[in-house]
Amino acid sequence: VEVPVPMGIEATEEAFVPLAAIRNSSRSLSESNGDNFVSRFQEDFELVQCLGKGGFGVVFEVKNKLDDCHYAIKRVVLPNKQESKDRVMREVKTLAHCEHPHIVRYFHAWTETPPPGWQEGQDKIWIE
């Protein structure tokens, strides 16, 4: 069965993730407060599978809990340097303006700042 999967990215303090074309972009930020941390990734999406991982991040196939559509979300882990964040933001803005039949459509980006160790714990569950 072939499943069309639009592209996307989610983010954390160390990671930045865009979600598959922004026409009316909006950005949100989840900050970590220990046990109070709420991940937008977990709140808005149901994990279907890990599609792949590499030097530039991890890509997940997810199902949006609101619209039941399948998307690919790319999570990119970043060092805590402004230069790295600027580079990712340039990529996000470029993808938002791309429109081509052979390029995966980009929808949205956001950032999250999970507490230390949270992402690593989730990755053990999410990435097989």
Mean pLDDT (the chain) is: 76
User: In the prediction, which pLDDT does 128 show?
Assistant: 67
User: In the prediction, which pLDDT does 49 show?
Assistant: 95
Q: Supply the pTM of this predicted model.
A: 0.67
What would the two tokens of residue 63 be?
């199902």
Burial class from Cβ neighbours inside 10 Å (0-12, 13-18, 19+) for residue 61 reads middle
Distances in Å between the Cα of 94 and the Cα atoms of 87, 105, 107 are 11, 12, 12
What would the two tokens of residue 106 be?
């980009």
What would the two tokens of residue 122 be?
């989730």
User: In the prediction, which pLDDT does 39 show?
Assistant: 92
Going from N- to C-terminal start, the domains of the chain cover: 9-126
User: In the prediction, which pLDDT does 35 show?
Assistant: 65
CATH H superfamily, domain 9-126: Phosphorylase Kinase; domain 1 (3.30.200.20)
For the chain, list residues with pLDDT below 50: 1-32
93 marked among binding-site residues: no
